[in-house]
Amino acid sequence: MGDDCAVLRPTDKPRVWTVDSAIAGVHFSRDFMSLDHIAQRAFAAAASDVAAMGGRAVAALSALTLPCTFTDDELTELVTGLARASDRFACPIVGGNLARGSELSLTTTVLGECPVRVLTRSGAQLGDGVFVTGTVGGAALGLRALSAQRGQEAVFLPAIEQFLTPAARLDVALEVAGLASAAIDVSDGLLQDLEHLCRASRLGARIEAALLPLLAGFVDAAEGLQLDPFALALEGGEDYQLLFTAPRELVPAGLATWIGSVVAESEGVRVFERAGTERATGRGFDHFRG
């Protein structure tokens, strides 16, 4: 408990498995997302937990709760999205469950294996660098552009793409496992997930906002929606990139971006802006807020 996956040891390789639920009205809205995308996102969110443990996906189970009014065509579209994600992450869906309920939900269980090593949140070392793969904030911006009904504007398309068909960094997870001291996936927001990692490692971190990797045109696009781009990048969730700590010299430039350093626990988790002033930060996604 406490890491993104549970580890099952009595096999030739350590295996990890995880479960994640996506629920209508909480994790997604059908108002501006197709069932295909809803399914792809639900699958990616679960697969991402396996990547965060340094694993590769072995297989998945998909438990669907469908409203009575759900049509065969809707089910076909949902299953198409699951199949696409399953193909993309090379993770066959080998079983599942269908049940009736008042709201649509998708619960995905993924089993993975860790041929290199099992990566947890708790191994960060004082002086390690903090790294993140890909870019951050894109999914949050894409979601906000869609909910503002501005999804057709070209400036938002890369962010919308990241929101609708998120990565799950299984493609780099084994490489990260070979060099990282601790890792987590960015699901609740970079800052909140970094806090989880730091708490598990009993250390702090100092992040430089100017180093955060952003999509091209991200700042302008965010400001076009009257949003603070750094709030999106730090607190927006569901990027499903890997956030990890490692000795700085071990991490090749193409793998991830250096965004800060591991410091003493007493210093907490803090973000500094370009001028060196500390940034007041909000919070990421709280599952039980509101």
Binding a copy of itself by CB under 8 A: which of 6, 174, 211, 231? 6
Q: How many CB atoms lie within 10 A of CB 73?
A: 9
Q: Which DSSP state fits 254?
A: T
Binding region for a copy of itself (CB under 8 A) out of 79-87, 107-115, 146-154, 171-179: 107-115
Closest C-alpha to 215, from 167, 164, 156, 170 = 156
Binding a copy of itself by CB under 8 A: which of 31, 69, 72, 102? 102
Closer residue to a copy of itself, CB minimum distance, 25 or 247: 25
User: Is 268 a binder of a copy of itself (CB under 8 A)?
Assistant: no
Q: Shortest approach of a copy of itself to residue 196 CB, angstroms? A: 14
User: Is 72 a binder of a copy of itself (CB under 8 A)?
Assistant: no
User: Is 125 a binder of a copy of itself (CB under 8 A)?
Assistant: no
Q: Shortest approach of a copy of itself to residue 86 CB, angstroms? A: 13
Closest C-alpha to 268, from 276, 258, 257, 279 = 279
Binding region for a copy of itself (CB under 8 A) out of 9-17, 149-157, 220-228, 234-242: 9-17
User: Is 59 a binder of a copy of itself (CB under 8 A)?
Assistant: yes
Binding a copy of itself by CB under 8 A: which of 55, 268, 277, 287? 287
Question: With contacts defined by CB under 8 A, how many residues of the chain interact with a copy of itself?
Answer: 40
User: Is 20 a binder of a copy of itself (CB under 8 A)?
Assistant: yes
Q: How far is CA 134 from CA 33, 70, 122, 282, in A?
A: 23, 36, 22, 22
CB 230 within 8 Å of CB 274? no
**Edge-to-edge, what's the strand order for the sheet holding 15-23?**
6-8, 15-23, 105-113, 56-66, 93-100
User: Is 23 a binder of a copy of itself (CB under 8 A)?
Assistant: yes
Closest C-alpha to 50, from 179, 177, 164, 190 = 177
- Distance in angstroms (rounded) separating the CA atoms of residues 243 and 34: 29
Closest C-alpha to 190, from 175, 174, 211 = 211
Residue 14, CA atoms < 13 Å, CB-side half-sphere: 16
User: Is 90 a binder of a copy of itself (CB under 8 A)?
Assistant: no
CB 16 within 8 Å of CB 120? no
Q: Shortest approach of a copy of itself to residue 7 CB, angstroms? A: 8
Closer residue to a copy of itself, CB minimum distance, 35 or 66: 66
Q: Residue 185 in 3-state DSSP? A: strand
Binding a copy of itself by CB under 8 A: which of 29, 76, 87, 95? 95
User: Is 174 a binder of a copy of itself (CB under 8 A)?
Assistant: no
Q: Write out the residues near a copy of itself by the rule CB under 8 A.
A: 1, 5-6, 8, 11-12, 17-21, 23, 25-27, 58-59, 61-63, 65-66, 68, 94-103, 105, 107, 109, 111, 287-288, 290
